[in-house]
Copies of this chain bind each other. A is one copy, B any other.
């Protein structure tokens, strides 16, 4: 079997105006859908970050991909993920770049999507689910966590394509944000007393604020949850952990910012900066990389969870298959999927359903989903018509909130 074509589809999907310390989500999230076509006319698919830069990245790899045996593609492209380490952990972190926009992890992102599409292609050719090509599932159902956000009014999309707002505005006045966040978590804990809770200020806090909040919410977050990226940088996370431990609080710190790739782990372990790694199949190097990471986390006593951005059903299934073959996944995965509009789903049959908070791993070949080509065409059209070519939450904040808005860390 040979790959005879690589199709790269940049698409745009409506995204509600969610707020985070990065700024504000643009009306469209950008995604890329890949199709790897075999000489037997079988098509393997994957979904990853969007915009022009990554689409160009795939084009630059076209000559290495077309003609390759999909069973060997991951090995053939291994230089993309095993090359020399670039930058310091701070450069590689998501402190100054939103996920999907850091040039230092471009190679990993390209590799991940191609590995996943090749696995899907091989699975379809063999009529085997992807998880069966990776040793076989260790769980049939993959749990995902719920994910509330502060948000502006609006449902995403622009102009005639603007979507209805299902949720309405949910903002805290800036000077009150810390108190409101603490109170929110307390109320969630009261409402769902048995449920593990997390909170993710996306590095917005100083070490001192992080420690204060960690202490204030020791009970609420300590019950099987974690405190995600309270502050920026490996040293900041390490200092928060140390001070919380000194106060007798062992709420673990999760991160998809300080630790975003394998080369960050040595420093993190040495400094005890991050206790729960939030991996991401889109930039850690694909599904096998998540399996490697699981073994590494188990070995070093770290927890493992999964990070997410705005995405569609192909990504959901890649995440679910990764989770199904990673024994040491110690937390339910994150996903923005519930925030996406069914109107934009490119998976045939519409949005994939969670049952009791879980995605079930079926016996269907590959990732288990097909592309609806009409829907994909609509996504491409949306991309061609919208003005966004990369994710820029800061620009969106400047447009709607404050023309001088900058990401300042720590903010509180």
Contact = CB atoms under 8 A, between A and B. Distances in A.
Interface of A: 69, 71-76, 78, 82, 115, 126, 128, 131-133, 135-138, 262-263, 265-266, 269, 288-289, 291-293, 295-296, 298-301, 325, 327-328
23 contacts: A71-B128, A71-B132, A71-B133, A72-B136, A74-B135, A74-B136, A76-B136, A78-B327, A82-B138, A82-B298, A82-B328, A133-B133, A262-B295, A262-B298, A262-B299, A265-B299, A265-B300, A266-B299, A269-B300, A289-B295, A292-B292, A293-B295, A296-B296
Nearest to A264: B299
A136 B263 CA distance: 23
Copies of this chain, whole number: 2
Most chain B CB neighbours (cut-off 10 Å) among A75, A76, A115, A262: A75
Nearest to A288: B135
Nearest to A265: B299
Contacts of A301: 266
Given A71-B133, A76-B136, A126-B126, A296 B292 contact: yes
B299 A75 contact: no
Contacts of A298: 82, 262
Contacts of A75: 131, 135-138, 325
A72 to B, nearest CB: 3
Report the 3 A-B pairs with minimum CB-CB distance, sorted nearest first.
A75-B136, A72-B136, A74-B135
Contacts of A296: 292, 295-296, 299
A44 B131 CA distance: 20
Contact of A138 (B78, B289, B328): B78
Most chain B CB neighbours (cut-off 10 Å) among A76, A136, A138, A262: A136
A132 B69 CA distance: 9
A288 B135 CA distance: 8
Contacts of A133: 71, 133
A113 to B, nearest CB: 15
A72 B301 CA distance: 27
A289 B135 CA distance: 11
A300 B297 CA distance: 12
A296 B75 CA distance: 18
Contact of A291 (B73, B266, B292): B292
